[in-house]
Amino acid sequence: MTEQEKNSQLPNGPMPCVPSCDPHRQVFSPDLYGLLREFEDDHFWFQHRSMLIAMALENYFHNAADFLEIGCGNGVVLGYLEQRFPKVLFVGSDVFVEGLHFARRRIRRSQLVQADLTRSPFRHEFDVVGIFDVLEHIDNDVLAIGNLFDSVRPGGGALITVPQHPFLWSDSDRRACHRRRYTKVELSEKLVRSGFEILEMVSFISLLLPLVIFSRFLKKVGIGKMKLDEFRIPSSLNKCFKAICSLERLLLTSGLSIPWGSSLLAVVKKPVSS
């Protein structure tokens, strides 16, 4: 079956594909979309990240009329945001149609397009652009950030999440086709170099970082080899981690930023004069 035939069987008709899109570059394994779809809706990490993104959007860009998520994958973030912000027009893009098939089943009103950030067709089109755990997959992340900057209207902004701390590098990163884990300094420098002004940069999964470090240590010594085992966790443990993440959001809301964590959230603005 051709991609056109597959698309025509989806609800709402085919997804547009930007001509510059190259879905064959190995920046992610399409097989992981189906596996991740099993965990995303109820998993503490995905819920925590979506809630933090929504908090940042509300705090910094509450007047945004439209929002583009680059690398939307299965649509877990889009599905959450479109419920939280019913007046915002959401657009999701991904280089792989496999993720967009799952996203179409999850979302209610977001538009979807197949596109490649490294050859982005968007120019000054969105009030806010989000890119969540995507930059680490791209070889030339400086080019990607530059295209991200070009996608935002002057005076708009971007929300970005990436994995943090190179010392946490493990087989999990390699299986996910990561190219790097970031430090705050590296991400800050690349964002500023592209023209963005940094409004906020916070770590998250901070209170659980000792457990993340311990998990990575077990993998290095040959224990905990199950594929994607960081996502397959018992329900009781998942509920416990959700409670810890709720405490972390409470701390962040009160202004107590913890300077470590397995992930980073950056909030940046494009100058009006750009």
Q: How far is CA 96 from the centre of its chain?
A: 15
Top-confidence range, 109-123, 214-228, 259-273: 259-273
pLDDT at residue 85 above 60? Answer: yes
Q: Are 70 and 134 in contact (CB under 8 A)?
A: yes
Q: Which residue has the tokens 């190259």?
A: 22
User: What are the beta bridge partners of residue 17?
Assistant: 114
pLDDT at residue 211 above 80? Answer: yes
Distance CA 59, CA 232 (A): 33
In whole angstroms, how far apart are CA 156 and each of 93, 134, 143, 177?
A: 19, 20, 19, 30
Written as one letter, the residue type at 118 is T
Give 228's pLDDT tier (boundaries 50, 70, 90). very low
Give 44's pLDDT tier (boundaries 50, 70, 90). very high
pTM over 0.75: yes
Return the CATH superfamily for domain 3-269: Vaccinia Virus protein VP39 (3.40.50.150)
User: pLDDT, tens digit, for every residue of 13-23?
Assistant: 444 544 444 44
Q: Are 263 and 162 in contact (CB under 8 A)?
A: yes
Which residue did the predictor score with more confidence, 151 or 226?
151
Average pLDDT over residues 178-198: 97
CB proximity list for 246: less than 8 A, separation 6 or greater: none
Q: How many CB atoms lie within 10 A of CB 33?
A: 20
Per DSSP, the three-state class of 118 is helix
pLDDT at residue 5 above 50? Answer: no
User: Domain coordinates of the chain in residue numbers?
Assistant: 3-269
User: pLDDT, tens digit, for every residue of 19-37?
Assistant: 444 444 455 666 677 777 7
Q: Are 33 and 110 in contact (CB under 8 A)?
A: no
| Per-residue confidence (pLDDT) for residue 257, from 0 to 100 | 80
Q: For residue 163, what are its two tokens?
A: 């994995």
Q: Are 157 and 61 in contact (CB under 8 A)?
A: yes
Per DSSP, the three-state class of 174 is helix
CA 46-110-230 angle, to 5 degrees, is: 15
Q: Are 274 and 195 in contact (CB under 8 A)?
A: yes
